[in-house]
């Protein structure tokens, strides 16, 4: 599907190039669809295609954190707003549920790659593996849930975009 410009997000496919931008509200609306095939009696199959839209904020989670930082209760407000929210990374079109904000971890910190055991900074990892440049080295890291519920992944807020569902509760 990527060859025709559609990006998978969970079980659906969306076309970010055909997005409708709502700049006044800092939102993009991506058109998309979900399809499935089900067997029915007599050896026939039923194709079901549902159209849908994905609403994405144009500002990053880091932008949100910067706005919140003006408040005295910054950490508390950030925790209440972001923990259990859903964010999307555009470099791989994946959605993740935020489990915590790691205030003491930053993009220049090192971690160990599972496969090779190599030690690498988050800055270098995201540049090397996802061609994403991280500019703010003082931002905290988001701890998100991976595909398996036991997987914990750290992603810089600069690379995450809140989904609208996460802003209004799901």
Q: pLDDT digit string (tens) for 36-82?
A: 999 988 889 999 999 998 888 888 999 999 989 988 899 999 999 99
Total number of domains constituting the chain = 2
Are 70 and 132 part of one and the same domain? yes
Residues in the chain predicted with pLDDT less than 50, given as ranges, are 166-170
- Residue-number span of the structural domain to which 107 is assigned: 59-168
CB 95 within 8 Å of CB 142 = no
Q: What is the pLDDT of residue 166?
A: 42
Are 88 and 66 part of one and the same domain? yes
pTM of the model: 0.76
Contacting residues for 51 by C-beta, under 8 A, at least 6 apart? 31, 32, 33
**What would the DSSP string read from start to end of 67-132?**
HHTTSTTHHHHHHHHHTT-EEEETTTTEEEEEEEEETT--TTSEEE-TTT--EEEHHHHHHHHH--
Q: What is the pLDDT of residue 43?
A: 86
Half-sphere exposure of 51 (CA within 13 A, CB side): 4
CB 145 within 8 Å of CB 96 = yes
Are 152 and 163 part of one and the same domain? yes
Are 73 and 155 part of one and the same domain? yes
Q: What is the pLDDT of residue 1?
A: 67
Are 86 and 142 part of one and the same domain? yes
């Amino acid at each position: 599907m990527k060859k025709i410009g559609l990006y998978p997000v969970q079980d659906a496919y969306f076309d970010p190039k055909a997005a409708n931008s709502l700049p006044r509200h800092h939102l993009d609306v991506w058109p998309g669809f979900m399809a499935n095939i089900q067997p029915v009696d007599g050896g026939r199959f039923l194709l079901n295609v549902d159209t849908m839209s994905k609403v994405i904020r144009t500002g990053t989670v880091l932008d949100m954190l910067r706005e919140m930082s003006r408040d005295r209760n910054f950490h508390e407000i950030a925790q209440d707003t972001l923990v259990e929210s859903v964010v999307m990374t555009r470099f791989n079109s994946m959605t993740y549920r935020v489990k915590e904000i790691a205030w003491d971890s930053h993009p220049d910190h090192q971690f160990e790659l599972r496969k090779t055991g190599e030690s690498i900074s988050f800055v270098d990892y995201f540049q090397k593996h996802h061609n994403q440049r991280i500019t703010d080295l003082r931002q905290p890291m988001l701890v998100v849930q991976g595909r398996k519920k036991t997987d914990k992944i750290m992603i810089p807020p600069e690379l995450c975009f809140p989904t609208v569902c996460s802003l209004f509760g799901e």
